[in-house]
Structure 1
Amino acid sequence: MNRFVIMTVGKTHSGKSTFADKLEEQMENAVVIDQDRHAEFIKTYYRKLLAKEGPNTIKYAVSKAIVDHAVGHTDCHLIICNSNRNKGGREELLDYFKSNGFKSILVHFDLPDEILEERIAVSTRSKVIFRSAATFEEVLARQNKETGIGKVIAPDEGEADRLFVIRDEAEVVNVIGKIVGMVEGGAI
């Protein structure tokens, strides 16, 4: 059986979590791994373990432990749901999955900032996940400054076995259908 990893890429409020949850509902034997959920869990129950500055190493350790367990102790397909905007980080993750026999699919959410700003304005998402920002507006502003600088770039065709780019919310259902078909067929 071919195992698949589907990795979302995109800015805040671009639809990554909603997409991942919808995809998980339609795929046999798939699990969503979402770092925002891990951050919320840690901030709720283990706040004192969070570093005052620097990277959120405990969140990354929890996420890595969950991924390693899913890879080594289950036969699940994985839906990695976080921004994955750093090319170096994506490549490292994709290499890990490839070395463990996974086929890879990237789904890049490339929606216009106007749509993201509208979504943020009416968002009811919890802000408990924040460590270095107070609002989603700040997160989006920071992400926009990162774009094109250093290693933060959009994915390209060669990074994974398959790349989908979503530029409009109407494309989501079609992309989910294509991914489910690939997974059920066992091939990209």
Structure 2
Amino acid sequence: MKRLVIMTVGTTHSGKTTFARTLEQELANSVVIDQDNHAEFINTHYKKLRPKQGPNTFKYAITQTIVDYAVEQTDFHLILCNSNTDRTERVERLKQFQEMGFISILVHFDLPEHILWERVAGSTRSKTIFRVASTFEEVLKRQIASGIEEPTEDEADYLFKIKNSDEVETAIHRIVSIPG
């Protein structure tokens, strides 16, 4: 049986984590790997070790260690729940998984901006994950300004685009029915 790697793509508050957790419940033998959890762990226990500027290499190293363990020591399907907005990094990571025999799936959350702003305004999520930003509004503003390199069909074996919350259930059903 082939394993699946599902990678979510989208801005803050677009529904990536909710989708990943729901998919984990529906897709047997799967695990969510969420970088927000790693950021919160670092900020709670190892704040002094965080890079002061530039990429958060510490967080990426923790994530990579967890991914490596999941790939090498388990037979789980992997649900990678982070923003994955940079095309070059996405393509490279998915290519590595494909070379290991995984079926690659991208789920792009492309909700209208006004919905994202509404969600951010009403957010009760913990801000413990922040290293640089102080609000989710700041994160969303930065993500919109830098832009998301929209996924294309050639990046993965399957691509699902979520433009509204009503499409989530269909995407989950289709992913669960992908032959492995």
Alignment TM class, shorter chain as reference: over 0.9
1:22-80 Cα offsets, whole Å, 9 max, x none, are 00001111000000010001110111111111111110000000001111111110000
Instruction: Determine helix, strand or coil for the equivalent of 1:33.
Output: strand
Summarize the alignment of residues 16-165 of structure 1 with structure 2, pairs less than 5 Å apart. 16-147=16-147, 152-165=148-161
CA contact (8 A) 1:40 1:128 kept: yes
What is the TM-score normalised by the length of structure 2?
0.98
Aligned residues: 180
Q: Are the aligned partners of 1:71 and 1:100 in contact in 2 as well (CA < 8 Å)?
A: no
Cα distance in 1 between the residues matched to 2:12 and 2:134: 14
CA distance in 1, matches of 2:123, 2:15: 12
Cα distance between partner residues in 1 of 2:48 and 2:37: 18
Q: Is the 8 A contact 1:7 1:80 kept in 2?
A: yes
- Distance of 1:99 and 1:43 partners within structure 2: 34
- Give yes or no for contact 1:120–1:136 (8 Å, CA) kept in 2: yes
TM-score, normalised by the number of residues in structure 1: 0.94
Q: Which runs of 4+ in 1 moved over 4 A?
A: none
Query: 1-side partners of 2:41 and 2:82: how far apart?
Result: 15
Unaligned runs of 5+ in 2: none
User: Paired residue for 1:168?
Assistant: 164
Deviations 1:66-106 (A, max 9, x none): 00111111111000000000001101110110111100000
RMSD over aligned Cα atoms = 0.7
CA distance in 1, matches of 2:8, 2:51: 26
Unaligned runs of 5+ in 1: none
Q: Within 1, Cα distance between the matches of 2:96 and 2:125?
A: 31
